[in-house]
Structure 1
Amino acid sequence: MNQQPVTTPRKPTTRKPTTSGFTLVELLVVIAIIGVLVGLLLPAVQAAREAARRMSCSNNFKQIGLGMHNYHSAYNQLPINMTGTDAAATGNGADQNNMVLSWLVGLTPFVEQQALWEQISNGVDSEGDQYQPMGPSPWFAGFSPWASDIPSFRCPSDPGVGLPALGRTNYAACLGDNPRMSHDGGKNRSGFYDWSGTAAWPGWNAENDAWARTTSDLSQVPAWVRGSNRGMFWNRHSTKFRDTLDGLSNTIAAGEIATSLGQKELIADMANSVHYSSLFTPSKCTDLADPTRPQYFPASQSVLNGSSRERGYRWADGRHPFASVHTVLPPNGASCITSGGDGGQGISTIGSRHQGGAHVLMGDGAVKFITDSIEAGNQDADPVQNGEMSPYGLWGALGSRASREVISEEF
């Protein structure tokens, strides 16, 4: 009889419970990898965001161009830059607007700002305050339309916000390639032709040289005044598409500007109280930059500032610092103005917060991005005024409306 072997039951073994997770070393490795990836991807994300902002900026400009064409269809002329009501009556900026209203004011009903236009045209703001029709001078912060930031007039790439600015703008009318007499188009703020050194001018009076010339007859304007204002816009004058003999697709109607951040930046501030000769030798304006920091003016250089007088700080003001530009110095170059301050003569240069260039609006409504390296001719040359070819190369040619310059290259 076979006996089965006796087996002793095994004592059950107890296992220690296991826990899942990362060790400290593994966690540090993962964090390091994430940091590297973020470092690699962040520039790409920022570039994508700037590309989107740049596209939005271009779209805003296209809407302004469409509004400009609709305005021309309605009134058979372009909106006038620096227009408005007569300053000679009272001298009080609350009762009139010094004939300095910008081209953007007339465009408001054509860029879906009808409600704002009604406040301006009636002289009654959103708080019910009563002013004269077309409002007070554009530096009156109490008139709410002047203090309004209009999205269509702002480039998303420009970070400038808040006081002391009123409503900012990044889009400015192009006055051409000659800064001489372009600040008022030859007309004083009462609408009459007025300048120094013309004793034979009709109405001239030695005792009151500044205000006695009372003619408003354009046919009597000296040729150099007419010839100096070569852009698609001529301050205090009406211009039409038919005046653009060089072709709408070859002529810049408006350009982008960067608003001031109060940092004396070359692209966003305007050198103040410069010598008058700087207007006739553009390189002298460029020479004002700090040689050690060429993107800034030096600390010793006065720039236009105080209250709302800085670059782009008043969308409703058509003067050089605020809403008009020249094609003299290439994009993102310096801007400078004479001792007349925001009412003086100067070179107002196109610029932006985009990398490497700025947008321009062509007369046909197209928006193009112009690089800083565009061919800009001889920057030591005086501007021309009698129909000659622009001394500022392709850039100057794009700014003149009727010099019959052939543009054969892509820009």
Structure 2
Amino acid sequence: MPINSFDPRSRLPLGRGNRAKSRRDANAFTLVELLVVIAIVGVLVALILPAVQAARESSRRTQCQNNLKQIGLGLQNYVGAEGAFPAGKKWTNKRTLPQTQQVAWSSFLLSYLEQGNVLPKIDFSLNLSDPANLPVTGLVIDIYRCPSTGRLEAHRGEDARLIELGVPGGGMACIDYLGSSGPDKDESPPGSTEPYGRQRGVLIGTKGMPNEDTILAPPPVKVQHVTDGLSNTIAVAECTGRGVEMDDAEIKSLNGAWASGSNVSHITKGVNRVEAPDAWYKEAIFSDHPGGANLLMADGSVHFAADETDKDVIMSLCSRDGDEAVETFPF
């Protein structure tokens, strides 16, 4: 077409400049097209983000299960070496002495979790949070932490240590896994009117036992004492985010510290039936995993228990010798 010819649509001369502008206009986005693209991208992001978050939580839950499997392996090795499960809680000296400490199963197990150099460094003649002990009792043990933990008790910091704030035990490292000393003492096995009583689990303490004020440790629980079967008895359950236990605005115990003897409890509720902060004080089964919590059985196996798991089933699984009839394994 000659340079000075006319475009019949515009009736303007279609010179070189106008032809270049026409090509640019043909290749450009209109405002409507741009808005459509933005809307499509927004929809795709809305679809992808939940999937990404679900994949991340699945990975965290798997890591939590691996932590419990390592703890379970440590328990099995402890039983093999010592002939019994570790005490859930015991005292380091006579109860009347001011320097007496309560120490939990999670301390005794360290030697079987490739942390054999930790426990011997604790000076039990001093408080567990004494500056001389804090380099040890303040050591964060990775397999004692659930990666999904999000909700934290007010005295627990983001670094998984008790925050100072004038708190006894400030600086001690925390744990997200709670030893089970048995079912709620006031509950009864299915078909029975006789309450379970205390210390019917595998990681037991001294509370409620004869001469509990004078004995330093509970009687050892051996494999043959677990008549319900190791695979049917809970040893450790998730109770994540714990720091300290409060009672009328006063600190009652350092239940979230792995070195503390308070890291063991009778299980009184079902799975995630109690919300924070009450879950930490009542030490129920509690986690930040959507839909349930991980449990470690006495045989070392790990199972994910759904929120809907019946409380009676949990109570039955917490006892080592209740002779309960659980028809099918619930997980």
Q: Same fold (TM over 0.5)?
A: yes
Residue equivalent to 1:56: 63
- 2:322 is equivalent to residue 403 of structure 1: yes
Q: In the alignment, which residue of structure 1 is the partner of 2:200? A: 230
Partner of 2:33: 26
How many matched pairs?
Answer: 277
Give, in whole Å, the separation in 2 of the partners of 1:331 and 1:304.
27
Is the 2:174–2:242 Cα contact (8 Å) retained in structure 1? no
Question: Is residue 332 of structure 1 aligned with residue 314 of structure 2?
Answer: no
Distance between the aligned counterparts of 1:47 and 1:324, measured in 2?
31
Q: Which residue of 2 aligns with 1:143?
A: 134
TM-score (norm 1): 0.60
Report the Cα distance in structure 1 between the residues aligned to 2:28 and 2:326, rounded to whole angstroms: 69
For residues 71 and 406 of structure 1, the distance between their equivalents in structure 2, rounded to whole angstroms, comes to 29
Q: Residue by residue, what CA displacement relative to the aligned partner does 1:67-126 show, whole Å, maximum 9, x if unpaired?
A: 10001111111122222421557514xxx5x2x1110111112112233x2xx3143xxx
- 2:294 counterpart letter in structure 1: H
2:261 aligned with 1:259, yes or no? Answer: no
Rounded Cα–Cα distance in structure 2 between residues aligned with 1:135 and 1:121: 13
More strand by share: 2
- Equivalent residue for 1:14? 16
Is the Cα contact below 8 Å between 2:134 and 2:172 reproduced in 1? no
Tell me if the contact between 1:178 and 1:229 (Cα under 8 Å) persists in the aligned partners: no
Would the alpha carbon gap of residues 409 and 11 (structure 1) be closer, same or farther in structure 2, given more than 3 Å must change?
closer
CA deviation after TM superposition for structure 1 residue 37, in Å: 1.1
Give the equivalent residue in structure 1 for 2:106.
104
Answer yes or no: is the 8 Å Cα contact 2:105–2:203 preserved in 1: no
**1:200-228 Cα shifts (integer Å, max 9, x gaps):** xxxxxxxxxxxxxxxxxxxxxxxx9x952
Work out which of the residue numbers 299, 303, 325 in structure 2 matches 1:364. Answer: 299
> How big is each residue's C-alpha offset from its partner over 1:369-406, in whole Å with a ceiling of 9 and x where there is no partner?
11222222xxxxxxxxxxxxxxxx22211111112222
CA contact (8 A) 2:203 2:264 kept: no
**CA shift in 2, pair 1:34/1:231, >3 Å:** same
In the TM superposition, 1:280-319 aligns within 5 A as 302=248, 312=256, 314-319=257-262
1:199-238 to structure 2, matched below 5 A, reads 227-235=197-205, 236-237=217-218, 238=220
**Could you give the per-residue CA deviations for residues 3-30 of structure 1, whole angstroms, max 9, x where no partner exists?**
xxxxxx9668524434344344333322
Are the counterparts in 1 of residues 88 and 181 from structure 2 also a CA contact under 8 Å? no
* Matched residue, 2:191: none
What is the root-mean-square deviation of aligned Cα atoms in Å? 3.2
Aligned twin of 2:84: 77
State the shift of 1:348 in Å.
2.7
* Paired residue secondary structure (1:228): coil
Q: 1:67/1:260 Cα in 2 relative to 1: closer, same or farther (>3 Å)?
A: closer
Q: How does 1:107-118 map to 2 (within 5 A)?
A: 107-115=109-117, 117=118
Quote the Cα distance in structure 2 between the aligned partners of 1:83 and 1:30.
Answer: 65
Distance (whole Å) between structure 2 residues aligned to residue 39 and residue 402 of structure 1? 51
Mapped partners of 2:109, 2:284: distance in 1? 22
Question: 1:117-137, CA deviations, whole angstroms, 9 ceiling, x for partnerless residues?
Answer: 2xx3143xxxxxxxx3x5743
1:241 to 223, 226, 229: 223
Distance 1:140 1:356 in 2: 39
- Unaligned regions of 5+ residues in structure 2, if any? 5-14, 153-157, 164-170, 187-193, 206-216
Letter in 2 for 1:350: I
Deviation at 1:328, TM superposition (A): 2.5
Report the alpha carbon displacement of residue 332 of structure 1 after superposing the two structures with TM.
1.6
User: C-alpha distance in 2, partners of 1:143/1:406?
Assistant: 46
